[in-house]
Amino acid sequence: MATTTVKAYGTTAPTEDLKPLDIERRAVGTDDIKIDITYSGVCHSDIHTARNEWNGSTYPVVPGHEIIGRVVEVGNGVSSYKVGDLVGVGCMVDSCQTCSSCQKDLEQFCENGATFTYNSPDKHLEGKQTYGGYSTSVVVDEKFVLRIPENLDEAATAPLLCAGVTTWSPLRHWNVKKGDKVGVVGLGGLGHMGVKFANALGAHVVMITTSPEKGKDATRLGAHEVLVSKDEADMKKHQNSFDFILNTIPVGHEMDPYLGLLKIDSTMVLVGAVEPLKPFHGGNIIMGRKRIAGSLIGGIKETQEMLDFCGEHNITSDIELINMQDINTAYDRVTSNDVKYRFVIDMKSLK
């Protein structure tokens, strides 16, 4: 298949910095859309993958699954988009479309394996991996392209494609509603979207953080209370009081302190720690019939619903815009907990 060479940034080994790379994009097929990428968000998952922290990386890795751009070419069979449309691509670019998960709009759980936006075997280019949004353009099947409300700030919508849907989906699935007491653990890229969404859904939102200095921001973002998890007395005050907790901590951690916060029959959902957790005491879920659950991004239909909700309620991310060349510093700032609250790359800097 004919391909086009485009500029990208990626890494060739877990310990190497990201650097300029040339990658191949496939020719636009019948159902494909070619997108000129304008902005690309920086997710903590990009760092886990670039550094092989989840042990599944195939190099080179070109991260980026919070992609915003304009349609520059469409295939003959494309009916939903035209040249010039503002569109997004999130964490997935393909799935089988026929298994029971895909039929239920849960492509992220495709039984034949969803194709993720980067570091997945590429169905179209044999022997190649998918390469993500740290690049000047991408070619994607229209079924995995999202429509971006034009009233929103273009750069600040990029993080909605992953951080947005990853927090929206569990809040909706566990039916968070007006008056519920909802805890969001970790004020980073995901957490700050979780706070905004839980607030917009009418919940009483408590930011649960290790960083007391983030309290003011948490309140500005929509938290009604701030709970510093290192403060044992404060944690005790909130014991057995939460209807729902969304936990975005990016590493394995002690679960018992958070389980103690849940009410009878309520749930804590993990989205961050894709790795072994510290052992926790069974009694902390047995007493109170509590639940620990997990959640992975969201399906395409649900992602579009989230974007439309953001358009109606004028919700975007709080971002710091960077140039592509600053990516290695940005990675170090994310891992040292110094991001407010999502880095977004201005892709003009790579063109």
Per-residue x/- mask for ligand NAP, residues 68 to 107, rule CB under 6 A?
----------------------------------------
* Rounded Cα–Cα distance for residues 213 and 340 (Å): 12
What phi, psi does 256 have (nearest 5°)? -55, -45
Contact flag: residue 187 with ligand NAP (CB under 6 A)? yes
Per-residue x/- mask for Zn ion, residues 113 to 152, rule CB under 5 A?
----------------------------------------
* Cα separation values, 18 from 13, 59, 90, 327, Å: 9, 12, 21, 7
Looking at 20-28, 75-83, 156-164, 286-294, which segment touches Zn ion (CB under 5 A)?
A: 156-164
* Cα separation values, 138 from 58, 282, 288, Å: 19, 47, 49
First to last CA, the chain: 25
Identify the residue whose tokens are 């395409």: 300
Q: How far is the CB of 252 from ligand NAP (least distance, A)?
A: 9
**Residue 334 vs 345, nearer CB to ligand NAP:** 334
Contact residue for ligand NAP among 250, 299, 310, 315 (CB under 6 A):
250
Contact flag: residue 48 with ligand NAP (CB under 6 A)? yes
**Residue 176 vs 339, nearer CB to ligand NAP:** 339
Nearest to 317, CA basis, from 38, 35, 42, 9: 42
Q: How far is the CB of 150 from ligand NAP (least distance, A)?
A: 26
Q: What residues are paired with 242 via a beta bridge?
A: 262
Looking at 41-49, 95-103, 219-227, 277-285, which segment touches ligand NAP (CB under 6 A)?
A: 41-49
Strands 19-26 and 319-323 turn out to be unpaired
* Cα separation values, 82 from 76, 133, 263, 325, Å: 11, 20, 49, 31
> How large is the angle between the packed helices 163-173 and 189-200, nearest 10 degrees?
40
Identify the residue whose tokens are 């974007």: 307
Contact residue for Zn ion among 89, 102, 162, 207 (CB under 5 A):
162
**Residue 74 vs 187, nearer CB to ligand NAP:** 187
Dmax (CA) for the chain in angstroms is 64
Contact residue for Zn ion among 11, 38, 40, 45 (CB under 5 A):
45
Contact residue for Zn ion among 42, 43, 62, 114 (CB under 5 A):
43
Looking at 22-30, 99-107, 117-125, 291-299, which segment touches ligand NAP (CB under 6 A)?
A: 291-299
**Residue 18 vs 33, nearer CB to ligand NAP:** 18
Taking CB within 5 to 8 Å according to partner kind, which of Zn ion, ligand NAP, none is near residue 64?
A: none
Contact flag: residue 235 with ligand NAP (CB under 6 A)? no
Count of residues making up the chain = 351
Contact flag: residue 186 with ligand NAP (CB under 6 A)? yes
3-state secondary structure of 141: strand
Contact flag: residue 272 with ligand NAP (CB under 6 A)? yes
3-state secondary structure of 113: coil
What phi, psi does 257 have (nearest 5°)? -60, -35
Residues found near ligand NAP in the complex (CB under 6 A): 43-45, 48, 162, 166, 186-191, 209-211, 214, 248-251, 253, 271-272, 295-297, 334, 337, 339
